[in-house]
Amino acid sequence: MNKIEIYEKLRQLISKEAVLLDEPMNKHTSFKIGGPADIMVIPESVEQVQWAIKVCKDNNIPYFIMGNGSNLIVRDKGMRCVVIKIADRFKDVIIEGTKVVAQAGILLSTLSKKIMAKSLKGFEFASGIPGTLGGAITMNAGAYGGEMKDVIKGAKVLDQNGEIKYFSLEELELGYRTSVIQTKGYIVLEVEIELEKGNYEEIVAITKDLTERRTTKQPLHLPSAGSVFKRPTGYFAGKLIEDSGLKGERVGGAQVSELHSGFIVNVDNATAADVLGLIALVQNKVRENFGVDLQTEVRIIGEE
């Protein structure tokens, strides 16, 4: 089947507005870069996710699952596959007592506000992390001493056969920027979070403090994908990069942030090639200077 035929098949259960042909990925990544995806599906129900996967599997078409694109670098030639974006239309949340059940597409910032309004503590660390809940579970996102594994009770996922399964915290195998979701290619549908009752004013104060620390130390005013590199054992990636004299270094429209050297920012219509060239330059320089191999934390995808 060609992509038009796949498009028509997907449209049998999914609305025209939610199935997009040749969709520019720069519209869907926080870096504002990336070539077109052959087809993008933005489902609004589990059934639609299952249908999209079934169409792909039945016709041997590769597919890629994404959230809101906050941790992605999509190459300039784009993606020869069906991209299933679980974000905008997949964001319901129910809060009962100290238990929170939320769909994978909700933004962490939005979920944090809803949790704070119920005077629940323990989720403050996640308030400023860009991205969706599903993406955060997939990579066990963390900040300021907290990680998703600290608050998760379990998650409902879709396996590679399109079957729904519930995984407990232990079964999710959440480690440093990894999980069984990532290693097995599962799809997060819904997450169960367990928190504690707290003092509303104290929760607001902690959240405000973390927000202030983030906004003053990170280049949030420019397109980026957050921290580019994983933290090397015994080091901080940003300090290694800065000590290598790379703060402000540019390749094309991509720059090592002058505010936080762990970030690469899009300062002038950067291409993916610019960003990847700068990543390679940074890795080589840090390896030369300190003998440390920096591993990327961002996901790099698309046609080379």
Per-residue pLDDT of 229-252, as tens digits, reads 999 999 999 999 999 999 999 999
Q: What is the mean pLDDT of residues 211-217?
A: 89
Look at residue 214 and tell me if it is in a domain. Answer: no
Q: What is the mean pLDDT of residues 48-66?
A: 95
1: pLDDT strictly greater than 90: no
Residue ending a domain, choose from 203, 229, 247: 203
Q: What is the mean pLDDT of residues 31-52?
A: 96
160: pLDDT strictly greater than 90: no
Q: What is the pLDDT of residue 177?
A: 87
- Shared domain check, 248 and 160: no
The pLDDT > 90 percentage for the chain reads 92
- Shared domain check, 151 and 109: yes
Q: What is the pLDDT of residue 52?
A: 96
DSSP helix/strand/coil, 276: helix
**Please, which residues have CB within 8 angstroms of residue 249's CB and are 6 or more apart in sequence?**
255, 256, 278, 281, 282
Q: What is the pLDDT of residue 235?
A: 95
Q: What is the pLDDT of residue 215?
A: 87
Q: What is the pLDDT of residue 161?
A: 84
Q: What is the mean pLDDT of residues 39-57?
A: 95
Residue ending a domain, choose from 69, 85, 101: 85
Look at residue 208 and tell me if it is in a domain. Answer: no
173 is a catalytic site residue: no
Q: What is the mean pLDDT of residues 100-108?
A: 97
Look at residue 285 and tell me if it is in a domain. Answer: yes
Q: What is the pLDDT of residue 88?
A: 78
Q: What is the mean pLDDT of residues 45-53?
A: 95
Look at residue 211 and tell me if it is in a domain. Answer: no
- Distance, CA of 69 to CA of 262 (rounded, Å): 18
**Active-site hit among 23, 147, 177, 224:** 177
The CATH number that applies at residue 78 is 3.30.43.10
Give the confidence band of 153 by pLDDT, cuts at 50, 70, 90. Answer: very high
- Distance, CA of 240 to CA of 294 (rounded, Å): 9
Mean pLDDT of the chain: 95
From the number of C-beta atoms within 10 Å of its C-beta (0-12, 13-18, 19+), residue 2 rates as: exposed
Give the confidence band of 147 by pLDDT, cuts at 50, 70, 90. Answer: very high
- Distance, CA of 189 to CA of 91 (rounded, Å): 10
Range of the domain at 267: 219-301
**Active-site hit among 23, 124, 190, 297:** 297
Contact status, residue 190 vs residue 156, Cβ threshold 8 Å:
yes
**Active-site hit among 127, 224, 227, 257:** 227
Give the confidence band of 152 by pLDDT, cuts at 50, 70, 90. Answer: very high
The dihedral built from the CA positions of residue 124, 126, 132 and 134, taken in this order, carries a sign that is negative
Look at residue 213 and tell me if it is in a domain. Answer: no
Residue ending a domain, choose from 85, 110, 127: 85
69: pLDDT strictly greater than 90: yes
Look at residue 266 and tell me if it is in a domain. Answer: yes
Residue 34 is classified by DSSP as: -
205: pLDDT strictly greater than 90: yes
- Shared domain check, 157 and 124: yes
Q: What is the pLDDT of residue 269?
A: 97
DSSP helix/strand/coil, 172: helix
The pLDDT > 70 percentage for the chain reads 100
DSSP helix/strand/coil, 9: helix
Look at residue 209 and tell me if it is in a domain. Answer: no
The CATH number that applies at residue 118 is 3.30.465.10
Look at residue 123 and tell me if it is in a domain. Answer: yes
- Shared domain check, 14 and 41: yes
- Shared domain check, 59 and 132: no
Q: How many domains does the chain have?
A: 3
227 is a catalytic site residue: yes
177 is a catalytic site residue: yes
96: pLDDT strictly greater than 90: yes
Q: Which residues share a beta bridge with 14?
A: none
